[in-house]
Amino acid sequence: MKEHVIVTVSTVDGTRHYQLGKWLQKCLKGIGYLSLASVLTAGGVIYYLNNEVDLALLKQHESESRTTELSVEVQELQDLKHELENDLTNREERLQRVSDRLGDLETVLGVSEADGEIENRIDTAALTSSVRLYMLNNIPNGSPVGEARVSSHYGYRIHRRQGVRLCTVVWTTP
C-alpha cells in the first residue's frame, strides 16, 4: 500500500476517490519539477531582460547626450570655419591692395613689375628706394655757391623787351 496514493475529491454530488499508481506519481512529480523549473527559468529570463532593457536605456541616454555634445561641437566648428573664411577673405583683399600699391610704387621707382613673389618685389622696391634716397641725400643739389653779390659797377639793369631787372651776379665760395 505504500506505493499507492489515494486522492479524495468531495463535491455536492458526493465524494470520489482516485487511486494513483507509481507511474502516475512519477509523471506528476516530473510535471511539478518541470513547472517549477520553467517558472524559475522564466523569472531568470525576465530579470535578465529587465537588466538588458535598463542597460539599453542607459546607453541610449549616453548616446543622446553624446549626440547633443557633438552637435554643439559641430556648430562651434562651423562658426569657427566661417570666421576663418572671413578672415582669409579679408587677408586676401589686404594682400591684393598691398600688391596693387606695390605695383604703383614699382612704377614710380621705375622698377619692372615682375610676377614673382611679393616678398621679393617688396625687397626690390625697398632696395631701390633706399638707393635713390641715398643718392638724393649725398649728391649736392642746392645752390653751388653760398653767397652771391652784384658785380656790376652800375648796379641792376632792366631788360629792354621783358622789363625785368637783371644783374650780373658773381658767386663766391665761403
Q: What is the pLDDT of residue 127?
A: 84
Work out the mean pLDDT of the chain and round it to a whole number.
84
Instruction: Answer with the residue of higher pLDDT: 107 or 148.
Output: 107
Q: List, for residues 36-89, the tens digit of each pLDDT value.
A: 999 999 999 999 999 999 999 999 999 999 999 999 999 999 999 999 999 999
Q: What is the pLDDT of residue 55?
A: 97
Q: Is the pLDDT of residue 144 over 70?
A: no
Q: What is the pLDDT of residue 147?
A: 66
Q: List, for residues 147-160, the tens digit of each pLDDT value.
A: 666 666 666 677 78
Instruction: Answer with the residue of higher pLDDT: 102 or 82.
Output: 82
Q: Is the pLDDT of residue 169 over 60?
A: no
Closest by alpha carbon to 172, among 153, 152, 144? 144
The mean pLDDT of 127-150, rounded to a whole number, is 74
Distance in Å from the first CA to the final CA of the chain: 162
Q: Which three cell numbers stand for residue 153?
A: 659797377
CA angle 57, 60, 64 (to 5 degrees): 140
E-strand stretches of 101-173: 147-150, 157-158, 165-166, 169-172
Q: Is the pLDDT of residue 35 over 90?
A: yes
Q: Is the pLDDT of residue 173 over 60?
A: no
Give the pTM.
0.45
E-strand stretches of 23-71: none
Spatial distance between the Cα atoms of 114 and 163, rounded to a whole number of angstroms: 54
Instruction: Answer with the residue of higher pLDDT: 98 or 87.
Output: 87
In total, the chain counts a number of residues equal to: 174
Spatial distance between the Cα atoms of 166 and 158, rounded to a whole number of angstroms: 6
